[in-house]
Structure 1
Amino acid sequence: MAGTGSRLIDRRSALKGGLAAGVAMPFIARSGFAQGAGTVRIWTFMSAEGQSPREKVFKTLIDEFEAKNKVKVVVEPQPFQELETKFVAAVAQKRAPDLVWLRDTFLSLVVDRKGLADLNEVLTPDFKRDALPDMFEVFTQKSVFDGKRVSLPIWPSPAQIIFYRKDTLREIGLDAPPLAWETFTDAAAKLTKGDRIGFGLPTSDNSVSAFINIMSGFGPEIFDKTTGRLNLTGPQAIETANVVRALVAKGAVSKTLLNAMGDDIQDQFAAGRFAMAQAFAPRFQQYQKIAAGYDPKELAVSAWPSFGGRPPAVLLGPYWTVGLAATSQNKEAAAAFLESLYTPAASMRWAKDAGLIPDRRSVMKDPWFEKPEAAVTRNFYELLSGKGAFVFPQRVPDITKIFSVLNTSLQEIIGTDEKVEVILARAKTTLNW
């Protein structure tokens, strides 16, 4: 595959003159920058000067792209909770960046407001032929709305899964958490010992919900195919609530943690407070790095238990995707930088240096993935490839408030004795479902 710089030239040549493949000549970009020069603005939650593993990889890829293409990449970090809403406002005000990081659960909100360009019009033929089929189809297909590809998923991840300490599981004679809820609750209860709690659940985040992750054990059928809604008063939701009540009754979940954010769970897990916890998968290395109450080598990951003999559940979302602003005046350079994030070499960097699952599946054939240090990446890859993996529907109504509403319900299920049917009916009314 041609280098990034030649892709920029080939792209403009084809757009300007419809030349045959392989013919390259100087171009004038639509933004007025000659021969690839210009600026690409990016909104993301990361900093180009950050010190996290993925920020360091990001900076390396930016430096390489700038050196090859005479394009300045400007990263403008944003609070991750506000990226989508701020971006929609910026598009309307004609001040949007060229590229933006978006959560998959917010794609429809941005698409409905015509904020994203169709990548089919700017991605190179080589990329569409070689890269797209090499990525996880479950992610790439979700980004296609009415035939338009509005974003590319990045760092494929099981998102909110279960982190556990192998040393604590060994105490009760297990190698890993049981993968059926009827046995998981008993195991989690046995893991509660002294100041250590069996299972930690965040209950106050606005972008994730442990209730949905537990309910995912019923598979993709939890979402109505027509509306994208959850049936919050149906038997599946009630059984999910009863599982939470059972975890509390058996001492596996604490009533004292009613306002725990994901960061709270992370910090307390690091201190040895939990044997297992719901956690954000891309933070695995961070969990290892800050481990104080246990040997970081004992940290491992698990799918969510299932109901009724179904495959273990892996709800793929929220996860990050990258879109191109419909209002961008530098679409070709921005698209070229976007492509540079998904080369096989970039995928290897994301994996080796940042501990992320490669976007390009073929990269998993590299001998490095057979090494012990790649064992967790292999485990994540297996979770993504399992029969129980699925994504949120393209359109989930009230996405800006569904997580907070269900977390309120989760707090009520954990902290009160009110009937779960009443709690769930109240959530349904609040969402006007």
Structure 2
Amino acid sequence: MNDRAGEGWTRRRALQALSCASTATLLPGCTSRRDPEALTFWATGYEGDYAPHLMTAFSARTGIPVETQSLPGTAAHEKYLTARAGASLPDVMMLPSGWAGEFAMIGAIAPLPDPALAQDTFPGVMRPLTYEGRAFAMPWSVGSQVQFYRRDLLGEVGYDTAPTSWEGWRDLGAKLKRRHPDRYTMLMFLNWWDTLITFAGQAGAYPLRDNDTRGHFRTPAYRHALAFYVSLFADGYAPRVSSNELQDPLAAFAQGWFAIYPNGPTLLTDLHRRTSEIAAGAWGVARMPGPGGPGAVSAINNSIAVSTTTRRPAEAWALARHLTSVSSELRFQQMIGVLPARRSAWRSAQLAGPVLRPFAEQVEQPAMQPTIVEWERIRLEVQIIAERVVRGGLTIDEGLAAMDARVDALLAQRRRLVAAGKIA
């Protein structure tokens, strides 16, 4: 590949070239015509890039070709909605689990034909996949935030592992800041909602009230979580940056610019690929800290759904079963690091290592989160306000009041529908 470096030869281009060579796959940039006999499958991120590798066994067994399309994560929601409006949804699709209720509500995805498809999974995983008492998607992967940490940097100030309490995080931050005044302890992007929502879950805060129709942020638990989050920036332990301000956070982690990087399981794959920058023994994984130790954390899960417009529902559900089988989930874990949603898959020796233990413990203790379709938007709006607090534009109490006001406005239509008895 060295002779193609000047042409921008990347992992995505290599995968695309391999996929375009087959009539059974289709990625953006492919020019081959669509096979009228093929099922279609859409996914985002690494899942979309690597999905063709899971289709070979399915096509060999069933004789059904599958065309896959990898969507940019930032554009996927709009792409799905546009396809729904244009009656051009794929037969099978990957959805972030938080989207399932919305797409079930608008009639875009079909309910599971067999209740057994919702079994063999972890606590809380099916809640966001259920709408009006029926399951509409099959769990595909599970993963909550954990803290990746630099063993050497923590060892410099007497820590063998990352602390799992808020007090421990602050103590670590103070010690590292004294030793390295020009560096930071942790990286938490201000435009990513994950860490604040994690802290809120650890504090036992539930963000909504009145049958999930109003904000519930002006509570002691949520104030505690937001105050701790803001204090990490105010005291210089975390930089005030968004994800678009730091081009390569993994390189910064490898160079010791910060010691703790809260992230999900796919970071494991990136770390394994970049051992020339950061050796395998230089980092570790621990559960996220809570007020008194590790607690419940909201997960970032993905699911598989079948379109209501598919003309071949039996074959589409066969593909959904294949993708969510134990063997497929374990293969994807090997390739891209995502963790299986099937509980039985975790009995494999493949997942028995100490690095995955914090993830295994965390998926058994999920935080209670709203399952309403507005929750995705609410998280984004809450984080926008939290960033204003971090940057000094609002006080903590003003921020909490703004969160309640903004969420109340977002849920106005929901309140009207609940009052009219049109939704539960």
Structure 1 counterpart of 2:185: 198
Structure 2 counterpart of 1:86: 79
**Which letter maps to 1:168?**
L
Q: TM-score, normalised by structure 2?
A: 0.78
1:336 aligns with 2:322: no
Q: CA deviation at 1:49?
A: 8.7
CA distance in 2, matches of 1:139, 1:83: 22
Q: CA deviation at 1:418?
A: 4.1
CA distance in 2, matches of 1:72, 1:234: 53
Do the aligned partners of residues 291 and 275 (structure 1) sit closer, same or farther apart at CA in structure 2, a change above 3 Å counting?
A: farther
**Which letter maps to 1:43?**
W
1:67 aligns with 2:51: no
1:364 aligns with 2:351: no
1:84-163, aligned counterparts within 5 Å?
A: 84-119=77-112, 121=113, 123=114, 129=116, 132-158=118-144, 160-163=145-148
CA distance in 1, matches of 2:264, 2:337: 13
Q: CA deviation at 1:333?
A: 0.8
CA contact (8 A) 1:271 1:291 kept: no
CA contact (8 A) 2:149 2:283 kept: yes
CA contact (8 A) 1:211 1:406 kept: no
CA contact (8 A) 1:351 1:377 kept: no
CA distance in 2, matches of 1:113, 1:262: 37
1:313 aligns with 2:290: no
Aligned sequence identity (%): 20
CA distance in 2, matches of 1:417, 1:258: 16
Do the aligned partners of residues 141 and 396 (structure 1) sit closer, same or farther apart at CA in structure 2, a change above 3 Å counting?
A: closer
CA distance in 2, matches of 1:49, 1:407: 27
Quick one: which of 334, 337, 340 aligns to 1:352?
Answer: 334
Do the aligned partners of residues 110 and 182 (structure 1) sit closer, same or farther apart at CA in structure 2, a change above 3 Å counting?
A: same
CA contact (8 A) 1:201 1:260 kept: no
Deviation by residue 1:90-125 (Cα, 9 ceiling, x = unmatched): 223211111111112222221221111011x2x5xx
State how many pairs are aligned. 372
1:178 aligns with 2:177: no
Q: Secondary structure at the match of 1:399?
A: helix
Quick one: which of 365, 371, 386 aligns to 1:410?
Answer: 386
CA distance in 2, matches of 1:330, 1:104: 24
Structure 2 counterpart of 1:218: 203
Q: TM-score, normalised by structure 1?
A: 0.76
Q: Please say which of residues 61-70 and 183-192 is displaced more in the overlay.
A: 183-192
Q: CA deviation at 1:230?
A: 4.8
**Which letter maps to 2:370?**
P
Unmatched tracts of structure 1, length 5 or more? 1-36
Do the aligned partners of residues 260 and 174 (structure 1) sit closer, same or farther apart at CA in structure 2, a change above 3 Å counting?
A: farther
CA distance in 1, matches of 2:333, 2:46: 19
CA contact (8 A) 1:102 1:323 kept: yes
Do the aligned partners of residues 161 and 250 (structure 1) sit closer, same or farther apart at CA in structure 2, a change above 3 Å counting?
A: same
Quick one: which of 247, 250, 253 aligns to 2:235?
Answer: 250
CA contact (8 A) 1:340 1:346 kept: yes
Do the aligned partners of residues 352 and 167 (structure 1) sit closer, same or farther apart at CA in structure 2, a change above 3 Å counting?
A: same
List structure 1 runs of 4+ shifted beyond 4 angstroms: 46-49, 258-264
Q: CA deviation at 1:46?
A: 4.6
CA distance in 2, matches of 1:215, 1:399: 16
Q: Secondary structure at the match of 2:94?
A: strand
**Which letter maps to 2:133?**
G
Q: Secondary structure at the match of 1:239?
A: helix
**Which letter maps to 2:85?**
A
